[in-house]
Structure 1
């Protein structure tokens, strides 16, 4: 038991993390660790990250006694009401436990025994000697402070609790804090009332002189060095100064700027469209974030977001969405929340947000962890292949989080034919992040960008890919530092929102934003004061400041400056007492390269689009797509042919828009074994029939088309007992139908939001994170059915309760019901279609007496989804608008708000 309860005025408590790590590693070195369990009892444990690190460095159990006693005191003193002290403590324990589970899930760790002592952390600013002694094996690329500085700061903190002359019983006011929000007496923030005021004033009055005051306050961090780049100096005078009128124009530089991925839903319609309008005027790019875009915006060149994000949630990712993209961004991670999908509280999923994101009003949205089609580099390569066929003209980005090892991943995705690699820094989380996601995740973009640049150059691949960077960039100096480290394009999220009126209240996730930026509440949105002109001013000012730095550094263009890290110095780092131990050589120097080694993108990736199977389909169906009519084709297929139907679907969407072609316009029969992603993102009007079998991802992102998979007519085996298609079938489907005669693999219909599918058996994790649509499973199911399911309905034959997700049953989030009369008719219709399309003997047997067969089925649907549907139906029967304010209030009541 390692405890700090006995600390006094004379005895300062050792920081609990240092205490556990020191004992843990000492016991390992003396070969005694396996003989004992370690329990930590500490007063400095109050956040999820504290618990996670203690477990990660060897704690078997933790008693955060001061946090629990504080909660009891808050209740007993009347500051918190309506709850007992005991329940308050239970709630704290539950919150800390759920937080640790969330961290484990985004790290890909499923049991706490695997997380314990795993040291799945990276240190920033701790010396190698200190790490080797107390945190042995932890990565710390830059070095930094040691035990002496830690002891000094610990002593100062302890002194603040006691009078210098000795202990006193006098009570003193606690420090205000201010880690997450700026506080007058708290720690410094780069965005504070002074900088926010100057930035907003400058961009609203088009005063460049005031903008320069703002950037000077941010860049001149003085004693409070708050960023890694704040330690760098620019080595002017190394090259001859270039006259400012010979430097690249503002109009050219702004084309390298983009706004960050903030989804519609996390921020308001007004804020989202303001950013899009501004970037389209400038020739830069705005980003949808991970959540769809209204069709009227997709078709409006002024309001359309150029970058369409494809995240693990696939919210609103349709053929139409992808077709109207300039860039498609695959979200492996984001800076504020690496590995943790985006999330949107139920209270922000208003009806109009749900419609755009293909989900249910009043039901919270969360992306699943990326363990589906971006789990490995091979899966990611396939997804790049798929979305490039869904829009051959768009660049494909892969968004990575800055951390040790990012260089190897960047090299991998470059080999996988990504056109752009985005290095996302640890700062950020605008719009919907819970506070626990804003810190302790990822590293500064300076570290990740330098490693990415160096690794790509070492592997001879730097000229094949564009490197983009984002993460709380605020000034022209930030852009210059990023360019010198190898960045070619630059993303901004928080700063443009501040320009648009954000005052960093840090209540984004609560839907209470007082300035109408990060809310969907119509009353609060009415307060939004931002204009596209202000955002345009910001980016033009930024570009002008970049020009001035380029002139001073001796460059004619930003292109020339890319990769010249020799112009960065570390004088400020050496001079600062707390930074003197830092070794910035890995960032600023790295390996030596020949002068002619490419430092930036020069050649496009070769996606071999001309070799794709669909080219023959596009040629054969051109007349029907252009002028109407019908056509039937029959072709052989082999498993090297991937994403068949996807490029054809893109051509249909380009010409016919959101609704595609009339049903049955193009009917294609393929014979043989299909490769991955058969029919991915396929729109209405196309029917793909496969006689044979298929690999993974059949119907990924299906957008209205029909897919039929069945064995050959002369097959001698029982189809219902054999696997006919792979894993992750129908992932992220939004519309359309699938009829599969046979068994499929794991993760069937993950994040389905609108398609109907009939199948004769599934593996583990079926219907995971489903938000809409209909599934009929006629045969055996694997374990963990319905995990994270928040919408949609499933009719499952012979379902056993032990195969349903335990948590969903225990909490009552999933309902298991017998089929009603309306359900029986829906089942009958789908069985008839399944039999007609596939010749299924299982469907034929059930159709002989559907009423009796229905007793073998269980209806699975989420509780909140059922409540919302019933609420909307009742409102419609009363003549109310199902999307109106009164119905929204009812929805909030039935789902608990």
Structure 2
């Protein structure tokens, strides 16, 4: 059929060029990994021109222009304003009408839904309950993760705890979904700061084996990269049941991102889609989960096993079953959790916020008298140290970050992680793009971020008169809600401001 015209929408963003400043160096065209900028000749002068169609506002051209001649601006709405049929929905229809495919995206959900972190505020000491100055007095943020039951005697099956210097970890981002350079930076900082980093479901690259003592290695439904050696080198292991950005479906690494290193590490053919099944095909009950947990423990001298679940409506009951199955840690991923590739329809419409899921899981485990049997790690939309401490007060033992770490290393949230063309070298393993991310630079940035958050977490502890993180954990009396209804306050287990 003859194509008469393209009716797809233009992008919400566009680069504007100041041709008086531009010297025609063509650097912008070289830096744009999506080929959205071309160089035209006009009156013998090279001039950059954008296609006006697909700019994702990654800002790479703007920030690398040596003359400062480019500005990324918002484009006026490319369609008639209609609250029911906004740009997101109309553009998705055009994309699917032209391709017949599922629309993929990256990062976590950016739907305009309640952000409970922003509606919760901390208490502070005044007069009768003096605060603590963290600059002058010691503040303890050491955290132990794992099953905290008492074991007597020297038993190789006794509970093994993981010690971290602060209740913060780097969440699962697999080799393939992110670049090897970024994963190296995460591993280095986790080792330096005595944290943990999660490998994700892509196996462990040979260059990262030196950092395995601080790694929690993932075993997902696709079993990518899982080998006898893999099951020996980690500090702990994570069974992936669900993910906040795509609950109920498996992992998906597009074939264009399966380059030689990923192919070798994941043990799959070059350029083939790495699609993990939706369920783990040997887990259809809590009893099946228990079998896998203890098979992993037997294989690695009873190192801790973590189970990752998505925050869904019945998350409290699921978490209870996971603890009874023998998990040492529960990793709960909220619906704003990031992803390298996920169907946008799933990302934006499935799951619940981590704040609600965390509160109900902590409460259920306490009521059943099994809270001590597993540590809770909260993830999904954690943006700053205040969010971390709110998670701790709601019941988390530790908090995982992913997107925040990407932003620290240059991510501009263009949400095209699935393309394999990340212009900042973060979610690509193409050689020429990956080298844009200097490992030492990324390591320094991440270390600074963690250091800053650590100081701020101690400040929040101090202003509440608490010097040990254990006294902050699950202490919901420190929190108050703002503008929340009675049911939301009940689920969160906190009082309204003023009470």
Return the alpha-carbon distance in structure 2 between the equivalents of residues 533 and 379 of structure 1.
43
Aligned CA distance change for structure 1 residues 256 and 393 (closer, same or farther; 3 Å):
farther
1:547 maps to 2:458: yes
Q: Do 1:312 and 1:368's aligned partners in 2 also have CA atoms closer than 8 Å? A: yes
Return the alpha-carbon distance in structure 1 between the equivalents of residues 142 and 392 of structure 2.
18
Q: Tell me, what secondary structure is at the counterpart of 1:381?
A: helix
Return the alpha-carbon distance in structure 2 between the equivalents of residues 533 and 161 of structure 1.
46
Q: Do 2:170 and 2:186's aligned partners in 1 also have CA atoms closer than 8 Å? A: yes
1:741-776 deviation per Cα after TM superposition (whole angstroms, max 9, x unaligned): xxxxxxxxxxxxxxxxxxxxxxxxxxxxxxxxxxxx
Match of 2:488 among 583, 608, 632: 583
Q: Do 1:388 and 1:396's aligned partners in 2 also have CA atoms closer than 8 Å? A: yes
Return the alpha-carbon distance in structure 1 between the equivalents of residues 122 and 367 of structure 2.
25
Matching residue of 2:123: 235
Match of 2:348 among 439, 454, 468: 439
Matches within 5 A, 1:75-474: 76-79=4-7, 161=82, 226-237=114-125, 239-244=129-134, 245-248=136-139, 254-298=165-209, 300-301=210-211, 306-474=215-383
CA drift at 1:246? 2.5
Matches within 5 A, 1:669-680: none
Return the alpha-carbon distance in structure 1 between the equivalents of residues 466 and 124 of structure 2.
11
Aligned CA distance change for structure 1 residues 355 and 175 (closer, same or farther; 3 Å):
same
Aligned CA distance change for structure 1 residues 422 and 78 (closer, same or farther; 3 Å):
closer
Matching residue of 2:443: 532
CA drift at 1:408? 1.5
Return the alpha-carbon distance in structure 2 between the equivalents of residues 323 and 308 of structure 1.
10
Aligned CA distance change for structure 1 residues 583 and 447 (closer, same or farther; 3 Å):
closer
Q: Which has more helix, going by share of residues?
A: 1
Structure number with greater CO (CA < 8 Å, separation at least 6) is: 2
CA drift at 1:241? 1.3
CA drift at 1:258? 1.0
Matching residue of 1:563: 474
CA drift at 1:279? 0.7
Aligned residues: 380
CA drift at 1:588? 1.9
1:768-813 deviation per Cα after TM superposition (whole angstroms, max 9, x unaligned): xxxxxxxxxxxxxxxxxxxxxxxxxxxxxxxxxxxxxxxxxxxxxx
Aligned CA distance change for structure 1 residues 250 and 179 (closer, same or farther; 3 Å):
farther
CA drift at 1:76? 4.3
Aligned CA distance change for structure 1 residues 179 and 562 (closer, same or farther; 3 Å):
farther
Matching residue of 2:409: 500
Q: Tell me, what secondary structure is at the counterpart of 1:460?
A: coil
Aligned CA distance change for structure 1 residues 484 and 325 (closer, same or farther; 3 Å):
same
Return the alpha-carbon distance in structure 2 between the equivalents of residues 283 and 275 of structure 1.
12
Return the alpha-carbon distance in structure 2 between the equivalents of residues 225 and 339 of structure 1.
21
Return the alpha-carbon distance in structure 2 between the equivalents of residues 445 and 161 of structure 1.
31
1:502-536 deviation per Cα after TM superposition (whole angstroms, max 9, x unaligned): 11111111111111100121111121245211111
Q: Do 1:306 and 1:327's aligned partners in 2 also have CA atoms closer than 8 Å? A: yes
Taking only aligned residues, the RMSD between alpha carbons, in angstroms, comes to 2.9
Match of 2:384 among 475, 478, 503: 475
Looking at CA atoms only, which structure, 1 or 2, has the larger radius of gyration?
1
Q: Tell me, what secondary structure is at the counterpart of 2:298?
A: helix
Aligned CA distance change for structure 1 residues 566 and 350 (closer, same or farther; 3 Å):
same
Q: For structure 1, which runs of at least 5 residues remain unmatched after alignment?
A: 1-71, 82-158, 163-173, 181-223, 575-579, 591-897
CA drift at 1:446? 0.8
Return the alpha-carbon distance in structure 2 between the equivalents of residues 537 and 251 of structure 1.
19
Aligned CA distance change for structure 1 residues 362 and 259 (closer, same or farther; 3 Å):
same
Q: Do 2:177 and 2:253's aligned partners in 1 also have CA atoms closer than 8 Å? A: yes
Q: Tell me, what secondary structure is at the counterpart of 2:238?
A: strand
CA drift at 1:304? 6.3
1:350-408 deviation per Cα after TM superposition (whole angstroms, max 9, x unaligned): 12111000110011111012141222111101010111111124211011111222112
Return the alpha-carbon distance in structure 2 between the equivalents of residues 449 and 391 of structure 1.
29
Aligned CA distance change for structure 1 residues 361 and 532 (closer, same or farther; 3 Å):
same
CA drift at 1:559? 1.2
Q: For structure 2, which runs of at least 5 residues remain unmatched after alignment?
A: 10-79, 92-111, 144-163
Return the alpha-carbon distance in structure 1 between the equivalents of residues 273 and 240 of structure 2.
20
Return the alpha-carbon distance in structure 1 between the equivalents of residues 282 and 113 of structure 2.
40
